[in-house]
Amino acid sequence: MTDYRRLYIPGATYFFTVVTEGRHPLLVSPAAIDRLRESFRYALECRPFRFDAVVILPDHLHAIWTLPTGDDNFSERWRLVKYRFSHRSPPTDVTRRSLAEKREKGLWQRRFWEHCIRDDADFGRHLDYLHYNPVKHGLAGRAADWPYSSFPRFVALDVYPMDWGCPAGVPAIAGDGGE
């Protein structure tokens, strides 16, 4: 067992990676994406926070959240998201006895990875990593081509040009602002 310690800082901004159990491509159907979005809304309603950025890939997601002043409980928020998504998902064939005994569907890895954002430069690096992830994994030709991302919001805010995240030598699609 590792001696891992989480860093809980009230009001801090965090970058997260959350992975599906066994890297199963759970987040591919429009229905699954809708369930996840509803689960985020549920967590926001129960335990408010600022949802800064997100990218949803078939087997994992990355998010940046800022917690309210005086509140450091990001773990409870992720518990709410995972619980709501799992509760609203169709039944599964749970193969691990330990999961079945706890009445868990085994959709998510139990843990998640977090990083406390240190400053604006750190925020920018993690925002770039998050939005470039679909390109990195070969799921999109450029960041703007991936539908399950906060990238369009950051284009509208003039943080990124539309053709950002387009690998060298790959032309942007004409007519979409990325020419």
Set 8, 14, 129, 148: catalytic member: 148
The 10 Å CB-count burial string (b at 16+, else e) for 127-156 is beebbbbbbeeeebbbbbbbebbbbeebbe
Burial class (CB in 10 A: 0-12, 13-18, 19+), 158: exposed
Q: Give the three-class secondary structure for 63.
A: strand
42 as an active site residue: the answer is no
CA distances from 115 to 105, 108, 124, 164 (A): 27, 19, 13, 24
Q: Give the three-class secondary structure for 1.
A: coil
- Give the DSSP H or E segment for 126: helix 120-136
CB 86 within 8 A of CB 70: no
Catalytic residue IDs: 148
